Amino acid sequence: MKVPLIDLQAQFLNLQPEIHQAIESVLASQKFILGEEGRSLESRIAELTQTSFAVGCASGTDALLLSLRAVGIGPGDEVITTAYSFFATGGMISWIGAVPVFVDIDPGTFNLLPEQVGKKITAKTKAILAVHLFGQCCSIEQLLPFNLPVIEDAAQAIGSMRNGKPAGSIGISGCFSFFPTKNLGAYGDGGMIVTSDETLAKKLKMLRAHGQESQRYYHSFIGTNSRLDELQAAVLRVKLKYLQQWNEKRAANAAYYNERLKDLPLEIPVIDAANTSNFHQYVIRSKNRDRLKNYLADQGIGTGIYYPLILPLQPCFSELGYKAGDFPNAEECSTTSLALPVYPELTAEQLEFVVHHIFHFLQ
């Protein structure tokens, strides 16, 4: 038996007729940029996240970049964020000339420690970039009293909740990724920004289109080309209908793992009582991580390491002066974390196969 970390083919086969119809409709229209498919998707994502506006863009990375620019972040500004995330989180802060200031994480939830944020605020701090990692929201309400713009990196958290509020709706803006392996994945790159700030939404729409507002070739400021095309929007509109049931199946798979693995010598995910996670990833921690990963691979079971080197210790950030030992929790997670298959198309037999071999290795 083979159990990949994610099986996009299984999802596609279930949706194939609808997907083909959606794509063919766009092809027939010959409207590929900023058309009705994109506007409809934006409306539905705004409704899902209980926000007033949604702005499609070319990727989750661009969603972060555009949000940072829209709130006025520029060269020399400091933005506080987590030490443990996908590279785009810290990378986009640096890309616009600002300085990422990292804080350590809670090793149970993998999310930033709010109590460390206040200690890192200086006169140069202009925003907080809060990550909801693996589908679980961070304690974002503890960041709001700092009176700084809080941008939510919700790339992995579409459909997740914090105290009954959707991920992406709590800060000044929320950034989503539609990378193919996400819970809601396109057939290429894609992203979305949500906000309830009308002025910010207007600026985001201009930024994604070279700083144009309504009249072509007249530019109020310098933007870029970052638009979600109609083909991807059409695919996402089809998939969005199934997002809730897919997330519920992921949660059921996670519950199965929790029950079966709870007595083994490893750490299973800790979900904050205030959260409803979409279980974008199901990440365990084991001191024998590398040996376990290799063993499972030999049995045909796919796993993933997210992330093997924390952001502050990446070579490109060496000039910031961080060193090994500065972020002990994040560093430990980078050597012990292992993502197991949790996608909704997993069968009961596949789940049992994974559990069986983890037992065989650890006992």
Q: What is the pLDDT of residues 246-285, one digit of tens each?
A: 999 999 999 999 999 999 999 999 999 999 999 999 999 9
Average pLDDT, the chain: 97
Q: Is the dihedral of CA 24, 30, 36, 38 positive or negative?
A: positive
pLDDT interval class at 296 (50, 70, 90): very high
Q: What is the pLDDT of residue 363?
A: 81
Better-scored residue on pLDDT, 363 or 64: 64
How confident is the model over 5-61, as pLDDT tens digits?
A: 999 999 999 999 999 999 999 999 999 999 999 999 999 999 999 999 999 999 999
Q: If 0-12 CB within 10 Å is exposed, 13-18 middle and 19+ buried, where does residue 348 land?
A: exposed
Q: Is the dihedral of CA 76, 95, 219, 172 positive or negative?
A: negative
Question: What gap in Å lies between CA 274 and CA 252, rounded to an integer?
Answer: 18
Q: What is the pLDDT of residue 193?
A: 99
> Secondary structure of the chain in the HEC alphabet?
CCECCCCHHHHHHHHHHHHHHHHHHHHHHCCCECCHHHHHHHHHHHHHHCCCEEEEECCHHHHHHHHHHHCCCCCCCEEEEECCCCHHHHHHHHHCCCEEEEECECCCCCCECHHHHHHHCCCCEEEEEEECHHHCCCCHHHCHHHCCCEEEECCCCCCCEECCEECCCCCCEEEEECCCCCCCCCCCCCEEEEECCHHHHHHHHHHCECCECCCCCCECCCCCECCCEHHHHHHHHHHHCCHHHHHHHHHHHHHHHHHHHCCCCCECCCCCCCEECCCCCEEEECCCHHHHHHHHHHCCECCECCCCCCHHHCHHHHHHCCCCCCCHHHHHHHHHEEEECCCCCCCHHHHHHHHHHHHHHHC
* Percentage of the chain exceeding pLDDT 90: 99
Question: What gap in Å lies between CA 270 and CA 359, rounded to an integer?
Answer: 20
Question: What gap in Å lies between CA 321 and CA 325, rounded to an integer?
Answer: 12
Q: Is residue 311's pLDDT more than 90?
A: yes
pLDDT interval class at 196 (50, 70, 90): very high
Is residue 3 within 8 A of residue 300, CB to CB? The reply is: yes
Is residue 49 within 8 A of residue 201, CB to CB? The reply is: no
- Average of pLDDT values for 153-180? 98
The values of phi and psi at residue 331, to 5°, are -65, -40
- Average of pLDDT values for 290-295? 98
* Percentage of the chain exceeding pLDDT 70: 100
Q: What is the pLDDT of residue 215?
A: 87
- Average of pLDDT values for 127-150? 98
End-to-end alpha-carbon separation of the chain, Å?
21
Instruction: Report yes or no on whether pTM surpasses 0.85.
Output: yes
Q: Is residue 316's pLDDT more than 90?
A: yes
Q: What is the pLDDT of residue 355?
A: 98
Which residue(s) pair with 195 in the sheet? 53
The torsion region of residue 30 among left (phi > 0), alpha (psi -120 to 50) and beta comes to left
Q: What does the CA dihedral 193, 195, 197, 202 come to, rounded to 10 degrees?
A: 30
Question: What gap in Å lies between CA 175 and CA 157, rounded to an integer?
Answer: 9
